[in-house]
Structure 1
Amino acid sequence: MQPPSPSGAPSPAGVNMADLKEARVPDIGHADVPVIEVLVKVGDRVEKEQSLITLESDKATMEVPSPFAGVVKEMKLKVGDEVSEGAVIALIEADGAAVSPSPSPVSGEGRGEGAQAPSNSPAPAPAPAPAQPTPAPVAGQGVQPGIAPEGDVAPQVRPPVDARVVMPGDAPYASPAIRAFARELGVDIQQVKGSGRGGRIQRDDVSAYVKHALASGARPSTGASASVGGLSLLPWPKVDFAKFGEIEEKPLTRIQKISGANLARNWAMIPHVTQHEDADITEMEAFRKQLGAENKDLKISPLVFQIKAVVAALKAFPQFNASLDESGEKLILKKYFHIGIAVDTPDGLVVPVIRDCDKKGLLDLARELGEISKKARDKKLGPAEMSGGCFSISSLGGIGGTYFTPIVNAPEVAILGVSKSAVKPVWNGKEFAPRTMLPLSLSYDHRVIDGALAARFASFLANQLGDIRRLLL
């Protein structure tokens, strides 16, 4: 006759009651949090701090570790259960106890808390343990995780989690946040293959699916929803605008059609973040005007100084002078410095590229910038003159505005937006003094560049523009 387990059921056969301990859910800050993974099974050995289950609230996913080492004798939770602080996860035979001849828990149905079986009644027969799915063998190993050859100690590894076990059927294995992200992009998450543990769908999996779908070149269908490269999108609204008033139809230019498709792809595929910064260009502007007075046949715009400052920043932060390869798994670092310049033309925006900007002085850049801008407006740019860029600059300084979010020009990983400079009062430590401030907007691909690196790049760039001596080094 076995003493009862802490849950009221008799302890598993052969297990000393004193050696059974309850692994409980700690303070998780939420109530009724669903279990989305059970990471161990009856008979598994667990180490202290080894994860037992995975919980997922609407804001986070968390693994609950074992507070002690031992062998799992009974699981109290299953996938789909909702738990709060204090819920019992499992009964674990603590280290030092005799090995149980049978890991199967004994059913305690019909018994009260702490009830003892009558001494003259026979011990109840152990109920068979619930069938557990056998994990697939791990590649390169001769045995399954947690199962040792005869005479050996079981390897101290956690069995791999199979999404087909924890989420049977065709249910996609993804967090609420990832599901929401997929919905925002119009992605049918059922079609996404997960790369996380046990087939869990990650944010990068959704992005990669979108990238592959767009690269396939599929076109919208004519059903209730459109399928663009595998993306389930609502069809474009059809509206008879003429019934509301007078209209005029004007076809898009070829440049607008091409650039529009590229911009849509880049916006959908690249996780954009924009870092804003102000550069004090008071001294730079004074020098630029002096240089212009000495070279009256040449237009020296602020853009040539910005190009030189960008080259210096790319040398200091080479991760910005890079591109992701087509698979999205490798970063290609470039040793050359070709800068794309967005030029506004009557037919739309084009981005010619000035090559080897690190090898050219301010006057050389001013001359080449004038020539290539004229070719762009005259529609004489060739494909070679619009390819090979490392980094782009989109300047609206001659028009106006303060800050904006330029769209990264794939396969580049960043772009600089420049707005109109303005004279502002700036505190110099003693008083407010008039200074010419230039708003900068740095958009970057968050898959490659994190916020801290972007802030350092933008600050470095502003310092370069603020100290004209640095640009001339």
Structure 2
Amino acid sequence: MADLKEARVPDIGGYDDVPVIEVLVAVGDTVSVDQGLVTLESDKATMEVPSTVAGVVKELKVKVGDTLSEGGVVAIIEAEGDAAQAGAADSPPPQAGEVDARSASGGGEAQDKGGTASAPSAAASGTARDEAPKAAAGGGGLQESRVPDIGGYDDVPVIEVLVAVGDTVAKDQGLVTLESDKATMEVPAAFAGVIKELKVKVGDTLSEGGVVAVIEAEGDAADSPPPRAGEVDARSASGGGGGAPPAQSKDDPAVEPVASQTAPDPIAQASMEHRPAGSGNPPVRFDAEAILPGKVPYASPAVRLFARELGVDLSQVRGTARAGRITREDVQSFVKGLLQSGAAQGGKAAAGAPAGGGLNLLPWPKVDFAKFGEIETQELGRIQKISAANLARNWAMIPHVTQHDDADITDLEALRVQLNKENEKAGIKLTMLAFLIKASVAVLKQYPRFNSSLDAAGEVLTLKKYFHIGFAADTPNGLVVPVIRDADKKGVLEISQEMSALAKKAREGKLGPADMQGGCFSISSLGGIGGTSFTPIVNAPEVAILGVSKSAIKPVWDGKQFQPRLTLPLSLSYDHRVIDGAAAARFTATLAQLLGDMRRVLL
């Protein structure tokens, strides 16, 4: 029995849900201990997951675009020693089959030892016929093809049925395609045969063990040894010379070779099928806009997330996988074409894509800067590339308006200084940003449209009942936005402590995806640097962002005379499709009032 072992992700520094950017091996490859299986890339580092055992890769559990955490299964590996034993055990059975065939045809020793050959021959034939169905995996008859282990997913929707009743399928051929929130996978046929009944349709859900189809198994397709046994039976029954002793027939099932896996596992197969077409027959393509409801591009959740990160409109990308599905490689090729030739090549990759990435813009100017003087080129970091793409999309697609106002924080600053002195021994340092977060939550409760998101079609507004506030953090690798969750349930001191912890993780490049997801409203503070006002870019799918500049002492008229007051410039950018100017003015006026007297937050 082959010893199959799971190769799992070791300790990777506390990272969770790290994307797989490259699969380094394929099913059937022989790997050594510590050989890389897949490559992961976090926001800080790229790392390889090594094999924990030497042997042959029997199944890959992940593909490019999936995510992994510590302890996740990467591959199933047949240990090296067991693989050699299995190989040695595979060679004798065919010879045994040849011996059976020769004895059944009346040759040599079998006839001499058999005495009266007719009775043993009939007995051997009957025994072999009884044993053949047990030995053959689906050797004839109607059998159910079920969903194998799909990684613990339940109720996964069927998005495509790949076969029809009457089709002849091979073992491991895809029957249906499932799509979870993290991956797209094909359910393979458990054996070869003819489809007699389909148990599911598009839109149904499946879990492990669910019946996909009823297949009339092919006796000749399931395994190679049983058909040879069948041929022996046929020749014996027709009176061929002599027969093997009954003991030989009883031993046949024990020495029949185990059929090796002739096709990659479904996930690896899907990964290979989804690669861009090279040589050979071109993949079947279709116009997703003309077929799918609502003109939704045909892509998996992982690919949609990847496209959102790069700011790519999937409707402009043509898929090269089965049935026109868009893959990660398609998105990368589309972006590469836009960057290299000002959308000229992007137009080739995406049918009908206008120059300028769908915005009908002029191509980006090509300039040879070196002819004007000495230059140096620097490639943007991963975070900078993602941020740039998101910012460009948000600025182009959201009609921005910025409302400016000033808040008198003279008394609030005095309170902040006093609280810092009181908590100095505890090591807690309050910043103005902590008060801004607390005050912003109070204003968001008064004006709920600022705590909402507009869908991609611009038709449905989702109002949120929770208050997760993001704050922009400048790091050596680029701008990131950690999120303070449930800020309405936390005090200023707790918010300040959590901000410090998240800012430290951001500087060290240890922020996980969960630390930057779920934000409702963002704050970008440049108060520690300078400036009097600016226009922050809305962080989609949010609808507003607050910019804060450097506070300054200004003369303020109190009705009798000018008084020196510490004022804080506020810049509120908002999506004008959701928020009108009057609402934005009320928002900033209310926020300035709360910052002027934080006691109002308690009301």
What is the TM-score of this pair, normalised by structure 1?
A: 0.54
Match of 1:431 in 2: 561
Q: Does 1:374 align with 2:504?
A: yes
Give the match's secondary structure for 1:455. helix
Contact 2:356–2:363 at 8 Å: present in 1 too? Answer: no
Relative to 1, partners in 2 of residues 1:229 and 1:216: Cα closer, same or farther, differing over 3 Å? Answer: farther
More helix per residue: 2
Read off the aligned partner of 1:270 and give its amino acid letter.
I
Contact 1:350–1:376 at 8 Å: present in 2 too? Answer: yes
Match of 1:464 in 2: 594
Give the match's secondary structure for 2:514. helix
Q: 1:214 aligns with which of 293, 306, 313?
A: 313
Q: 1:258 aligns with which of 363, 378, 386?
A: 386
Q: How far is 1:397 from its partner?
A: 0.2
Cα RMSD, aligned residues only: 1.8
Contact 2:523–2:546 at 8 Å: present in 1 too? Answer: yes
Read off the aligned partner of 2:313 and give its amino acid letter.
L
Contact 1:215–1:229 at 8 Å: present in 2 too? Answer: no
Match of 1:267 in 2: 395
Distance in 1 separating the partners of 2:481 and 2:312:
26
Which deviations, in whole Å up to 9, do the C-alpha atoms of 1:42-89 show, x marking residues without a partner?
xxxxxxxxxxxxxxxxxxxxxxxxxxxxxxxxxxxxxxxxxxxxxxxx
Distance in 1 separating the partners of 2:575 and 2:488:
24
Q: How far is 1:327 from its partner?
A: 2.3
Give the match's secondary structure for 1:216. helix
Distance in 1 separating the partners of 2:363 and 2:545:
31
Read off the aligned partner of 2:419 and give its amino acid letter.
L
Q: 2:423 aligns with which of 295, 312, 317?
A: 295
Q: How far is 1:223 from its partner?
A: 7.0
Q: How far is 1:237 from its partner?
A: 1.3
Contact 1:396–1:418 at 8 Å: present in 2 too? Answer: yes
Which deviations, in whole Å up to 9, do the C-alpha atoms of 1:339-373 show, x marking residues without a partner?
00000011110001000000000110010000000
Q: 2:375 aligns with which of 215, 230, 247?
A: 247
Q: Does 1:307 align with 2:437?
A: yes
Contact 1:213–1:228 at 8 Å: present in 2 too? Answer: no
Q: Does 1:408 align with 2:408?
A: no
Read off the aligned partner of 1:466 and give its amino acid letter.
G
Contact 1:341–1:352 at 8 Å: present in 2 too? Answer: yes
Give the match's secondary structure for 1:256. helix
Read off the aligned partner of 1:449 and give its amino acid letter.
I
Match of 2:483 in 1: 353
Give the match's secondary structure for 1:435. strand
Q: How far is 1:429 from its partner?
A: 0.6
Contact 1:324–1:332 at 8 Å: present in 2 too? Answer: yes
Match of 2:472 in 1: 342
List aligned pairs for 1:86-105, cutoff 5 A: none
Q: How far is 1:277 from its partner?
A: 0.4
Match of 2:17 in 1: none
Distance in 2 separating the partners of 1:472 and 1:414:
24
Q: Which runs of 4+ in 1 moved over 4 A?
A: 223-226
Give the match's secondary structure for 2:344. coil
Match of 2:449 in 1: 319
Contact 2:316–2:358 at 8 Å: present in 1 too? Answer: no
Read off the aligned partner of 2:344 and give its amino acid letter.
T
Match of 2:362 in 1: 234
Percent same amino acid among aligned pairs?
Answer: 69
List aligned pairs for 1:102-251, cutoff 5 A: 214-216=313-315, 218=317, 219=334, 220=338, 221-222=343-344, 227-251=355-379
Which deviations, in whole Å up to 9, do the C-alpha atoms of 1:264-322 show, x marking residues without a partner?
00000000000000000000000000000011111100000000110000000001000
Q: How far is 1:384 from its partner?
A: 1.0
Contact 2:356–2:362 at 8 Å: present in 1 too? Answer: no
Q: Does 1:283 align with 2:411?
A: yes
Which consecutive residues of structure 1, in runs of 5 or more, have no partner in the other structure? Answer: 1-211
Q: How far is 1:471 from its partner?
A: 3.1
Which deviations, in whole Å up to 9, do the C-alpha atoms of 1:100-146 show, x marking residues without a partner?
xxxxxxxxxxxxxxxxxxxxxxxxxxxxxxxxxxxxxxxxxxxxxxx
Give the match's secondary structure for 2:589. helix
Q: How far is 1:224 from its partner?
A: 12
What is the TM-score of this pair, normalised by structure 2?
A: 0.42
Distance in 2 separating the partners of 1:440 and 1:273:
14
Read off the aligned partner of 2:467 and give its amino acid letter.
F
Relative to 1, partners in 2 of residues 1:217 and 1:364: Cα closer, same or farther, differing over 3 Å? Answer: farther
Contact 1:308–1:357 at 8 Å: present in 2 too? Answer: yes
Q: How far is 1:216 from its partner?
A: 2.7
- How many pairs are equivalent? 262
Contact 1:214–1:265 at 8 Å: present in 2 too? Answer: no
